[in-house]
Amino acid sequence: MSTQGSQTSLDASEVRKAGNAIGDIADDVNGFSELNDVHPKAGDFAVGSWLNQLIAARRDTLHQHCNDLQRTLREVSEQLKNIATEIERTDRNNGEQLDKLNAELQNSVNQLRSQAPTLPMAPKGPDTQTDLV
């Protein structure tokens, strides 16, 4: 996105590239599924049981966090791609709308010309008038 004065421009292809890159990151987060295979075996005594529960709880929390992260990255990716599509659609629609308005304006001008083809020309300004008394 760039700004110049009061104008802001956004390149739809760059927005789409960002969406694709974030989608790739979401795919890379898949490694967390290996956490499911972590089963601590610290022993069958009080401290060992406590450690087993602690590790399992931390594993499950991390696994949930990774799931949430992956889901969020995928949502952001899809939204950016949707935004890029909307930008392109808006640009195309605006272009079509401008073409339509331009045609209507040209039509109006042509109608005005046909209704009054002999409109007098405006007199020249005072600095260019030489034949007026």
| pLDDT recorded at residue 70 | 92
Domain-wise residue ranges, the chain: 10-92
For residues 126-132, average pLDDT: 57
Tell me how far apart the alpha carbons of residues 64 and 132 are, in angstroms, rounded to a whole number: 90
Q: Taking phi first (over 0 means left), then psi (-120 to 50 degrees means alpha), and beta for anything else, what does residue 43 get?
A: left
Identify the CA nearest to 70 among candidates 121, 22, 112: 22
For residues 80-90, average pLDDT: 91
| pLDDT recorded at residue 125 | 63
For residues 94-118, average pLDDT: 79
Share of the chain above pLDDT 90, in %: 31
What 4-12 contacts at long range (C-beta under 8 Å, 24+ apart), as own/partner pairs, is: 10/87, 12/84, 12/85, 12/87, 12/88, 12/91
For residues 56-83, average pLDDT: 92
At 22-48, the pLDDT tens digits run: 999 999 888 777 777 788 888 889 999
pTM for this predicted structure: 0.63
